[in-house]
Each structure stands twice: as C-alpha cells, then as structure tokens.
C-alpha cells in the first residue's frame, strides 16, 4: 500500500487524485492533505479519508478548520511551514505535488530532499528551478513521475529508452477556445470565454494558460528537464481532438504515440500506481466514430506566449522563473479584468526584456527572480492602466 500526501487536494488534480485513492482503498492510504482557502471541501475530504495532518493557507483558516473537526484524528497546520511538513512526513511514500503556480516549488523540493517519490502536476517548479530539482532528485535517488497528460504520455512512450534514440518529443495542444477566433477579436475575449476549454476540465489558472498557449510553453520547459532533451528537440503540434496526448519520434523514423480519452484520472492513476496499472473502467476511446485526427503547426502570432516560453528556455538561468512569475501576475490581472487577454504576452515580454539575467545555482536565485518579476509586473500593469 502506498501512503500519500496530496498538496493541493481541493484543486482539480487533487480532487481526481482522491477519487482514485477512494476507489482503490487497498492500494492507497491518504496520510496528509493541503489546501488553500477551500476549507469546506477540505473538511469533506478529512471526513472521508481521516488524514493524519492537513495544512491550509493561513492561521485564521487553520483556526476555523480546527473548530469544525476532531483534533484527535487530524492535526491542522498552515502556511509554507505547513506545506513543508506535509511534504516531508516520514511515513509518506509518494507526494502528489498539485499546487498551482510558484507556491509548489518549496514543498516539492523539500519532499525530494526528504527522499519522497514525486507525482508532479506542479510544472511551475521545474520551470522556475528545473536544474536544481533534477539534480536534487538524482542525488537522492528520487523518481519524478509526471502527472500532466502530455508528459505522462511521453513517460509511457519512452519507457526507459536511452536519450540518444530520441529525435524529437512532440507535445500536442488542443489550441484552446480561441484557435479559430478571428485575430482582430482576440482583444475582446473575456475571462469567462477563456475559461471555457473545448476538451479538458481544468482549474482557472491552467485554463487561461491553455487559452494563451502559455501552458504549452511551460510544458516545453518541463519536458526539457523531465526527459533531458534539448529545447530544439521539443516541438508543439496543435491537435484539436485531444486524443493523441503526445508523441516521441525516434532516430529510426518511428513515431510512437500515447492515446486516450480526455480524463485526467488516467495519467494521475498511472503516476500513483507506477510501475503497474490499475483498472479505471472509464469509457473506451472510440476511434471508429471519430471524424479524424488533425495536426497543425502553432501560430506564434496568435499565441506569442508560446514563443516567449521557448525564448526563456534558450536564455535559461533565471529567465524561465521570470516568465512564470510575470505570467501568473498577468493572468490574475486578466481574471480581475484589469488588463486584456492580449495584454498578457505584452506584459510578460516587457518584464523579460527588463530582467537582468542571473545564474541559477541555488533555490534562492529562483525565488529572488520570482519576487523581482512579480513586483516589476505589477508596476508595469499599473503603468499601462494609467
């Protein structure tokens, strides 16, 4: 039986993770949970799984939660310290890192240093400090199991094949809700429209990133670190049907793909149960009744965020951390309706241009770059709103 800690248990990935844990009670024990502010859902999860410890965003929420649950069964912590505690509990076998954004970096690397296996959905950790995380994982003998459907697909297709056999990694992207929207209408789109993803049901921030293709750009960076291939070996294909989750082209010309329905429980369950597979009893992929599978090159003019992500990876060092932080602030401003959708890449590019690149040798280097970028992004957004 694997004992789990789920960071971000009330988000989309966390909820699906617990759905799997609840289905396979003989396979998994939920020992620890963390959430942000949704203590109502967290309370329901505590009642169902009776974890040993939980953590929430701040002390006020922790006090409110303590009043509603039995302290004899579950201890309550809060803040960054609470996340680190959740991620490093001695009896944990696997940490599901499903926090959204830069908040996932410190607990993820803390879990690696504590020699916990990682089921990674928090791509921002690798974007911000991939070099450091990969080295720590290697040093501690830790396997990072990808949860994103694209990276899970690549992980399954590679199946331990040596890097020198890989010619290209092909990441697929649905193209999001604005794939065919006339270019002149892009400035008018609303957050409600951006959140309406055509094929996947995801959290708010990831949905906006998918609409701008920044999510795919972050996945390019993530793939570089997860699979140890050069940036120029990673390409993106628009695939609106979202049936082929990603592909690997080998040096002999073979292209091997992983396919499936659009249900995140499949890659989550594979990461949880690896190296074996568990029966999910989901609807089968019915290729006979599909109109066809299409693949298109991404339009970098329509989706400049993808171009910026590639640029940040080529520059390297602290630039990807700056890209990520600027994007998080810009996306939040878009959701608050203080900037337009088309302002997101403009803001990110401006902040990247203003950044003085620093070597990335420690976690503090990434955190300083992240903080600088957030402050600069907020300042720039204030400037363009005047």
Long-range contacts at 199-202 (CB < 8 A, ≥ 24 apart): 199/174, 199/240, 199/241, 199/242, 199/262, 200/174, 200/242, 200/262, 200/264, 201/12, 202/12
Decide if 220 contacts 310 (C-beta within 8 A): yes
Q: In what order do the strands lie in the sheet with 244-250?
A: 234-238, 166-173, 244-250, 255-259
Residues 6+ apart with CB under 8 A from 253: none
Distance between CA atoms of 38 and 30, rounded to whole angstroms?
A: 18
Residue 256: asked if its preceding bond is cis (omega within 30°), the reply is no
Could you tell me how many residues make up the chain? 386
The pLDDT of residue 169 = 98
Q: How far is CA 89 from the centre of its chain?
A: 23
What SS3 class is residue 315? helix
Q: Is 284 left (phi over 0), alpha (psi -120 to 50) or beta?
A: beta
Computed from CA positions of residues 210, 213, 219, 221, in that sequence, does the dihedral angle turn out positive or negative?
A: negative
Residue 325 CA: distances (Å) to CA of 121, 307, 349, 378: 17, 16, 12, 11
- In the chain, list all ranges with CATH 1.10.1740.10: 316-386
**Structure token digits, residue 352:** 């990247």
Give me the pLDDT at residue 383, please. 87
- Domain 316-386 listed as CATH 3.40.50.150: no
SS3 of the chain: helix, strand, coil, percent, to 5? 50, 15, 35
What does the alpha-carbon distance between residue 165 and residue 249 come to, in Å, rounded to a whole number?
9
pLDDT value at position 355? 97
N-terminal to C-terminal alpha carbon distance within the chain: 57
pLDDT score at 272:
98
Q: Please report the pLDDT score of residue 20 as a whole number.
A: 98
d(CA 70, CA 93): 25
Q: What is the pLDDT of residue 386?
A: 53
| Residue intervals in the chain for CATH 3.40.50.720 | 2-142
Written as six digits, the tokens of 179 are: 């794939």
Note whether 90 and 31 are within 8 A (CB): no
Phi, psi of 35, rounded to the nearest 5 degrees: -145, 170
**CA–CA gap between residue 56 and residue 78 (Å, rounded):** 5
Could you tell me where the DSSP H helices lie in 201-337? 204-212, 214-227, 265-273, 304-315, 319-335
pLDDT by 10s per residue, the chain, length 386:
999 999 999 999 999 999 999 999 999 999 999 999 999 999 999 999 999 999 999 999 999 999 888 767 899 999 999 999 999 999 999 999 999 888 999 999 999 999 999 999 999 999 999 999 999 999 999 999 999 999 999 999 998 899 999 999 999 999 999 999 998 899 899 999 999 888 877 888 999 999 999 999 999 999 999 999 999 999 999 999 999 999 999 999 999 999 999 999 999 999 999 999 999 999 999 999 888 999 999 999 999 999 999 999 999 999 999 999 999 999 999 999 999 999 999 999 999 999 999 999 999 999 999 999 999 999 999 988 75
CATH fold of the domain at 2-142: Rossmann fold (3.40.50)
Kind plus residue range of the DSSP H or E element containing 233: none
Sequence-distant (6+) residues with CB within 8 A of 133 are 108, 109, 112, 125, 126, 144, 225
User: What would the two tokens of residue 340 be?
Assistant: 């337009």
What's the alpha-carbon Rg for the chain, to the nearest Å?
A: 20
Q: Rounded to the nearest 5 degrees, what angle is found at the Cα of 123, between the Cα atoms of 117 and 125?
A: 75
SS3 category, 39: helix
């Amino acid at each position: 039986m694997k004992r789990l800690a789920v960071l971000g248990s009330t988000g989309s990935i966390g909820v699906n993770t617990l759905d799997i844990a609840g289905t396979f009670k003989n396979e998994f024990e939920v020992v620890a949970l963390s959430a942000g502010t949704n203590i109502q859902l967290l309370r329901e999860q505590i009642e169902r799984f009776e974890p040993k410890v939980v953590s929430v965003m701040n002390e006020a929420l922790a006090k409110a939660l303590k009043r509603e649950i039995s302290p004899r069964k579950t201890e309550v912590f809060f803040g960054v310290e609470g996340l680190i505690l959740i991620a490093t509990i001695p009896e944990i076998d696997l940490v599901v890192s499903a926090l959204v954004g830069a908040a996932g970096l410190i607990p993820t690397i803390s879990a690696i240093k504590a020699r916990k296996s990682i089921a990674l959905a928090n791509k921002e950790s690798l974007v911000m400090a991939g070099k450091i995380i990969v080295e720590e994982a290697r040093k501690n003998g830790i396997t990072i199991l990808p949860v994103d459907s694209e990276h899970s697909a690549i992980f399954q297709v590679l199946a331990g094949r040596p890097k020198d056999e890989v010619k290209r990694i092909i990441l697929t992207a649905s193209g999001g809700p604005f794939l065919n929207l006339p270019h002149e209408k892009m400035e008018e789109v609303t957050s409600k429209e951006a959140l309406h993803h055509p094929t996947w049901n995801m959290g708010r921030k990831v949905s906006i990133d998918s609409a701008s293709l920044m999510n795919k750009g972050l996945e390019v960076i993530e793939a570089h670190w997860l699979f140890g291939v050069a940036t120029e070996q990673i390409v993106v294909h628009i695939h609106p049907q979202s049936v082929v989750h990603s592909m690997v082209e080998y040096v002999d010309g073979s292209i091997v793909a992983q396919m499936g329905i659009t249900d995140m429980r499949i890659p989550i369950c594979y990461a949880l149960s690896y190296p074996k597979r568990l029966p999910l009893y989901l609807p089968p992929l019915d290729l006979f009744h599909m109109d066809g599978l299409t693949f298109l090159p991404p339009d970098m003019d329509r989706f400049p965020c993808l171009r910026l992500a590639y640029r940040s990876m080529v520059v390297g060092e602290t630039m990807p951390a700056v890209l990520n932080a600027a994007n998080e602030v810009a996306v939040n401003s878009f959701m608050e309706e203080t900037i337009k959708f088309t302002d997101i890449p403009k803001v990110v590019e401006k902040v990247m241009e203003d950044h003085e690149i620093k070597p990335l040798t420690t976690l503090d280097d990434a955190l300083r770059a992240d903080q600088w970028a957030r402050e600069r992004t907020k300042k720039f957004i204030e400037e363009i709103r005047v």
